[in-house]
Amino acid sequence: MLNTIFASRPEESSVRENRCDGPMSDCPAIYIRDLKLAYGGHVIFEGLDLDIEAGRFTTLLGTSGVGKSSLLKIVAGLQAPTGGTIAASDGKPISHRIAYMGQQDLLFPWLSVVENVMLGSRLRGDRRDPDRAMHMLEQVGLADRRDALPSQLSGGMRQRTAIARTLYESRPIVLMDEPFSALDTFTRSKVQELAAETLAERTVLLITHDPLEACRLGHRLFVLSGSPAKLSPPISVPGCPPRSPEDLGLLETQAELMGTLLDAHTAAD
């Protein structure tokens, strides 16, 4: 019943299970090995191994406070792990080719919406691309607020600006931390599709709390749970993102995911 409503984008599921287009030529996979993070004596996770496949969406779920954002920050090079290694499959450093969107929107209050979208160009001193920025803003439905200041936006509008900023970056590796949490169902679904299209063939690590979102967008899903946290075995979703919420494969995966989450949850209690 619920799912029939998302009838906007019916799509044949691809024949090759779980593989749609190949990765972009310069999109590396990321290998996480034996990662450990502890604050003081408190171990958040330990012995974590994870392969983030090249050119695919990897989705990470888990209870609040389990260490998802920390993991993302470590991959982004923003935080040093207590132990372990992170490497790209091509051996080159990771940190200079990522687009990162944190749990907060982090808009710059002194820049207008469109300038916030082009923040990367501004910060690097590159040539700005207003056309591209406006295209992104149109896609997230904020074209008419291009000159507004962040303080004049609603919560969801701020988040959409941050998404536009992340997509504008056009990087081979994209790391996103609950990017759609402040959006209503329909706006969310539209922006999810935008992200899936724009980021197809990129190496994406996406944190989300919404199982449906995870199943619509992810090629592989992981659940982080426990204390110290461990990763679940990967759950593969058939078909190419963005999947229609009607998609049968999606519904099955969602059920499997809910099971995994429930296990994680009851184990934690």
Partner 1 sequence: MRNATRPFVTAAVMIALWWAIAHLSGLPDYMLPKPEEVAAILQKKYAFLFEHTLVTVSEILLGLLCGTALGSLCAILMMLSPVVQRWLSPILVFSQAMPVFAIAPLLVLWFGFGMSSKIVMAVLIIFFPVAAAFYDGLRRTEPGWLELAQTMNTSKLGILLRVRLPAALPAFGSGLRVAAAVAPIGAIVGEWVGSSAGLGYVMMNANAQVRTDEMFAALLILSAVALTLWALVNLMLRRLLFWAPDSH
Ligand X SMILES: Nc1ncnc2c1ncn2[C@@H]1O[C@H](COP(=O)(O)OP(=O)(O)OP(=O)(O)O)[C@@H](O)[C@H]1O
Among 30, 35, 44, 162, binds ligand X (CB under 6 A): 44
Q: What is the sign of the dihedral through the CA atoms of 108, 114, 118 and 122?
A: negative
Stated as kind and residue range, the H or E segment containing 85 is strand 83-88
Told to check if 169 binds partner 1 by CB under 8 A, we report yes
Distance CA 80, CA 25 (A): 29
Told to check if 154 binds ligand X by CB under 6 A, we report yes
Q: Which two tokens stand for residue 121?
A: 């160009």
> In Å, how far are 74, 138, 211, 233, 242 from 163, measured between CA atoms?
20, 12, 20, 29, 16
Applying CB under 8 A, the span of 108-116, 138-146, 217-225, 259-267 interacting with partner 1 comes to 108-116
102 to 121: interface string for ligand X, x by CB under 6 A = -x------------------
Q: How far is the CB of 238 from ligand X (least distance, A)?
A: 27
Which CB atom, from 14 or from 95, has the smaller least distance to partner 1?
A: 95
Applying CB under 6 A, the span of 24-32, 119-127, 152-160, 239-247 interacting with ligand X comes to 152-160
Among 95, 152, 197, 268, binds ligand X (CB under 6 A): 152
Told to check if 153 binds a second copy by CB under 8 A, we report yes
Residue (of 103, 66, 71) closest to 86 by Cα position: 71
Which CB atom, from 67 or from 179, has the smaller least distance to ligand X?
A: 67
Applying CB under 8 A, the span of 14-22, 47-55, 119-127, 260-268 interacting with a second copy comes to 260-268
Told to check if 155 binds ligand X by CB under 6 A, we report yes
Q: How far is the CB of 122 from a second copy (least distance, A)?
A: 25
Applying CB under 6 A, the span of 17-25, 114-122, 149-157, 260-268 interacting with ligand X comes to 149-157
Locate tokens 């994209």: which residue?
A: 174
Distance CA 258, CA 130 (A): 42
Three-state SS for 234?
Answer: coil
Told to check if 93 binds a second copy by CB under 8 A, we report no
Residue (of 190, 185, 189, 231) closest to 58 by Cα position: 231
Q: Which two tokens stand for residue 6?
A: 């998302």
Three-state SS for 213?
Answer: helix
125 binds, among Mg ion, partner 1, ligand X, none (CB under 5 to 8 A by kind): partner 1
Told to check if 266 binds ligand X by CB under 6 A, we report no
Q: Where are the alpha helices (DSSP H) in 125-268?
A: 130-139, 155-169, 185-198, 211-217, 248-268
Residues that bind ligand X (CB under 6 A): 39, 44, 62, 64-70, 103, 152-157
